[in-house]
Structure 1
Amino acid sequence: MIRLLIVDDSALMRRLLGEVFRAEGDFEVAVARDGDEAMAMLAECRPDVMTLDVQMPRMDGLACLDRIMLERPLPVVMVSSVTEAGARETLKALELGAVDFVPKPGGAVSLAIDELGPLLVEKVRAAAAARLRPSHRLRERVRLRAGLSASPTPSPAPRATRRDPAPRAAGLVDRVVLVGCSTGGPPALDALLGPLPADFPWPILVAQHMPAAFTGPLARRLDKLCALTVVEVTRPVPVVPGQVHIGRGNADLILSLRPGGLVAMAAPALPEHRWHPSVDRLVTSALQHLSAERLVGVLMTGMGSDGAAAMARLRAGGGRTIAEAEETAVVWGMPGELVRLGGAEAVLPLDAIAGTLTGWAG
C-alpha cells in the first residue's frame, strides 16, 4: 500500500481527492486541513507521498514544504492554480524540493476532478517512487539538527558571467542541442544550463512538459541563472548560438527552416502526442531540416517515454545523445527508455552533462 497524505484547506477537495485515490485500491489515505495539521500528522501516518495545496490559511503550502524538506524529506506533489502567480509559487516549490505539480481544477470542481484524477494518480504514483536528491538542502538540514537556525534558501545566483556573444547567422549554426525533460525537470535545467559558458557555440531548444502559464516564468527564472540568454518561444525566432529556447506550454516546440536560416516555433499541440511540449515532435522536426550529425539530444528526468524513440533514431543516424543517469534522475522514465532502446551514447549524472556538452562543443 502507498501511504498518502492529502493536504488541502477545502473540505470538498479533500473528499474528492480522497475518493479518487481510495478507488485505486492500493492507497492508504489520510487528510489534513492545513500545513500545521500536516506537520503534526507526519510522525503518526508516516506518508510515502503527499499532495500539498499551495494556498492555505495559517501555514501555507510553501512554508509547509520548506519545513518538510528540512525535517522529514518525502516526495511532494503540489496542487497549484494555473496562473502566472501560481506558476511562480510552483517554481519556488520545485526549488524547495517538490517532485511535481498538478493544476488545481477551476469552476465546478466535482466535474473537473474526473478529468484531473487520472493525471493526479499517475503523478502521485511516480512521485512515491521518485528519487529525492540526498544532497538537496543538506547544509540546512545539518544546521537544523544541530540546533542552529536553518538559513533561508537563497535565490539562485548567476553561475557564469553573461556577455553578448558575437552575432552569427542562423544558417551558420554548427549543431543544435535538443533537451527533453518532465517530472523533476526545472531543477535539472538549473543544473544543466547554469554552468554553460556565455560563449557556448550551439543553440539549445528545450521541451519541458508544462502548462502554458508556467513556461514564461520558467524561462525568465532560467535567464537570471544563466550566462546564456533564455527565452520562451511564443513566435518564430531565429536559432542562434548563445540562446536557449524554452517551448511554450500546451503547445509544441519545433525547429523549422526559412530563407534566413533556422527558426524555433511554437506549433499547436498534436493529439497523437500525450505530453506537451512534445520531445518526440521537437526531435522529429529537427531531423527533417538537419542531418543527425548536426544534432545533440539530451534526455533528462521525467516519467513516461517521450523523446526516447526519436532520440534513438537521432543516435542511429550519427547524432550524439546523452541520457541522465538513474542515480540523479528524479524519475528515470524518459532517459531510462532511451538507454533501453540503445540510443544513449553517454549515460551521465546530472552534474556531468554540462561539462560533457562543453567538451563536445570545444
Structure 2
Amino acid sequence: MIRLLIVEDSALMRRLLGGVFATQGDFEVFFARDGMEALEAIASDPPDVVTLDIQMPRMDGLTCLDRIMLERPVPVVMLSSLTAAGAEATLEALRLGAVDFLAKPAGAASLFIDELAPTLVEKVRAAAGAKLRSSHRLSERVRLRAGMRPAAPARPVRLSMLRAARPAADTMPDPMPEAMPRPMAGAVPGIVLVGCSTGGPPALDALLAPLPADFPWPIVIAQHMPATFTGPLARRLDKLCALTVQEVTRPTPLLPGHAYVGRGDADVILGSRLGGPVVLAAPSHPAHRWHPSVDRLVDSAMEHIPPVQLIGVLMTGMGDDGAAAMTRLHAAGGRTIAEAEETAVIWGMPGELVRAGGAEAVTPLEDIAGLLADWLA
C-alpha cells in the first residue's frame, strides 16, 4: 500500500481527492487541513508521498514544503493554480525539492476533478517511488541544524574549469573518430537537444548553471509543462545562469550562448530559414502524449541538421519520450547522454534510452555540463 497524505484546507477538495485515490485500491489516504497539521502528521507517522496545496491558512504550502525538505524529506506533489503567480510559486516549490506538480484549472473543483484524476494518480504513484537525492539541500540541512544561515549560491564557472572537472578518463566515452564538422552555413557548429519531465526544472538548473556565456552551441529544451509555466521557467533560468535563456514563442534564429525553452502545451521543433537553423513553436501533435515532445524535437532537428552536429541529452522524467528519437540520433552518428539512475528523480525517460542501446554516455546529473564542455572542446 502507498501511504498518501493529502494536505488541503478545502473540505470539498479533501473529499474529492480522497475519492480519487480510494478507487485505486493500493492507497492508504490520510488528511491534513494546513501546513502545521501536515508537519505534525509527517513527524509522527511519515507517509510515502504527500500532495500539498500552495494556498493555505496558518502555514502556506511553500513554507510547509521548505520545512519538510529540511527536516524530514518525503516525496511531494504540489497542487497549484494555472496562473502566473501559481507558476512562479510552483517553480519555487520544485527548487525547494517537490518532485512534481499538477496545475488545477480555475473554476469549480467538482467540474474538473474527473478530467485530472488519471494524471494526478499517475504523478502521485510515480512520486511515491521517486528518488530524493540525499545531497539535495544537504548543506542547508546541516547549516540549519547548526543554527547557521544558508550559504550563497554557487557562481557559473568558466569552460576551462568545466573541462578540468570532467569524469576520469576510464569513465569517458571514446572520442569522436572524425574531426568536428564544419559550421552550418550562416549559423552555429551544432546544437544540444535536451529533454526532461518530472524533476526537470531542478535538473535544468544543474545542467545550465555551470555553463559559461560563451558556450559554443545553442541548447534547445523540451520540458513537459503547461504553457503558463514555461515562460516563468525560462526567465528563472535566465537569471540563474550565464547563458541567455528564452521561451520559444515565434521562429527564432539559434545563437551560441543561448538556451531556448519550448513553450508548454505545444511542441518545439527546428527548421531552416535564410540558410540557418531556427527554433519555433508548433501546435502539439496528437501522436505524442507529452508536450513539448522530445521525440518530435529530435526528429525535426535531424530533418534539417546533420546528426553529427547534434547532441541529445535525456534527463529525469516519467515515460519514454525522447528515447526512440535519441536512439535514432545515436544510430545516425549523433552523440547522446542519458542521466544516470543514481541522480534521476524518475529514471523513466533516460532509462528507456539506455535500455534501447541509444545512450553513448550514462552520466550523473552534476557531470553532464562538464561532459558537454569536454566534447565541444
Question: Is the contact between residue 158 and residue 211 of structure 2 (CA under 8 Å) also seen in structure 1?
Answer: no
Q: Distance in 1 between matches of 2:41 and 2:90?
A: 23
Q: CA deviation at 1:153?
A: 7.7
AA at the equivalent of 1:159: P
> Partner of 2:42 in structure 1?
42
Q: CA deviation at 1:152?
A: 5.2
- Residues 158 and 264 of structure 1, relative CA distance in 2, 3 Å threshold: farther
Q: CA deviation at 1:140?
A: 2.4
Matches within 5 A, 1:141-220: 141-146=141-146, 148=147, 151=149, 156=153, 158-160=155-157, 171-220=186-235
Does 1:247 find its partner at 2:262? yes
Q: Distance in 2 between matches of 1:243 and 1:66?
A: 31
> Partner of 2:165 in structure 1?
none
Question: Is the contact between residue 212 and residue 250 of structure 1 (CA under 8 Å) also seen in structure 2?
Answer: yes
Any stretches of 5+ residues in structure 1 without a counterpart? 163-167
AA at the equivalent of 1:49: V
Matches within 5 A, 1:68-79: 68-79=68-79
Question: Is the contact between residue 43 and residue 72 of structure 2 (CA under 8 Å) also seen in structure 1?
Answer: no
Quote the sequence identity (%).
Answer: 72
Q: Deviations over 1:213-262 (max 9, x none)?
A: 11111111111111111010000000111110000011110000112411
- Residues 40 and 170 of structure 1, relative CA distance in 2, 3 Å threshold: farther
AA at the equivalent of 1:183: T
Q: Between Structure 1 and Structure 2, how many residues are aligned? A: 354
Question: Is the contact between residue 218 and residue 257 of structure 2 (CA under 8 Å) also seen in structure 1?
Answer: yes
Does 1:33 find its partner at 2:30? no
Matches within 5 A, 1:262-273: 262-273=277-288
Question: Is the contact between residue 311 and residue 343 of structure 1 (CA under 8 Å) also seen in structure 2?
Answer: yes
Question: Is the contact between residue 80 and residue 104 of structure 1 (CA under 8 Å) also seen in structure 2?
Answer: yes
> Partner of 1:332 in structure 2?
347
> Partner of 1:165 in structure 2?
none
> Partner of 1:66 in structure 2?
66
Q: CA deviation at 1:143?
A: 3.4
Q: CA deviation at 1:45?
A: 3.4
TM-score normalized with structure 1 length? 0.94
TM-score normalized with structure 2 length? 0.91
Q: CA deviation at 1:144?
A: 3.6
Q: Distance in 2 between matches of 1:320 and 1:140?
A: 36
Per mean C-alpha deviation after superposition, the further-off stretch among 169-178 and 230-239 is 169-178
- Residues 153 and 82 of structure 1, relative CA distance in 2, 3 Å threshold: farther
Question: Is the contact between residue 157 and residue 224 of structure 1 (CA under 8 Å) also seen in structure 2?
Answer: no
Q: CA deviation at 1:22?
A: 1.0
SS at match of 1:80: strand
Q: Which runs of 4+ in 1 moved over 4 A?
A: none
SS at match of 1:356: helix
Does 1:291 find its partner at 2:288? no
Q: Deviations over 1:319-350 (max 9, x none)?
A: 00000000000000000000000000000000
Q: What is the CA RMSD across the aligned residues, in angstroms?
A: 1.6
Question: Is the contact between residue 8 and residue 56 of structure 1 (CA under 8 Å) also seen in structure 2?
Answer: yes
> Partner of 1:83 in structure 2?
83
Does 1:347 find its partner at 2:362? yes
AA at the equivalent of 2:91: L
Q: Distance in 1 between matches of 2:341 and 2:204?
A: 16
Does 1:303 find its partner at 2:318? yes
> Partner of 2:4 in structure 1?
4
Matches within 5 A, 1:97-116: 97-116=97-116
Any stretches of 5+ residues in structure 2 without a counterpart? 160-182
AA at the equivalent of 2:137: R
Q: Distance in 2 between matches of 1:242 and 1:94?
A: 25
Q: CA deviation at 1:145?
A: 3.6
AA at the equivalent of 1:14: R
> Partner of 1:317 in structure 2?
332
Q: CA deviation at 1:169?
A: 8.5
Question: Is the contact between residue 223 and residue 292 of structure 2 (CA under 8 Å) also seen in structure 1?
Answer: yes
Q: Distance in 2 between matches of 1:250 and 1:286?
A: 20
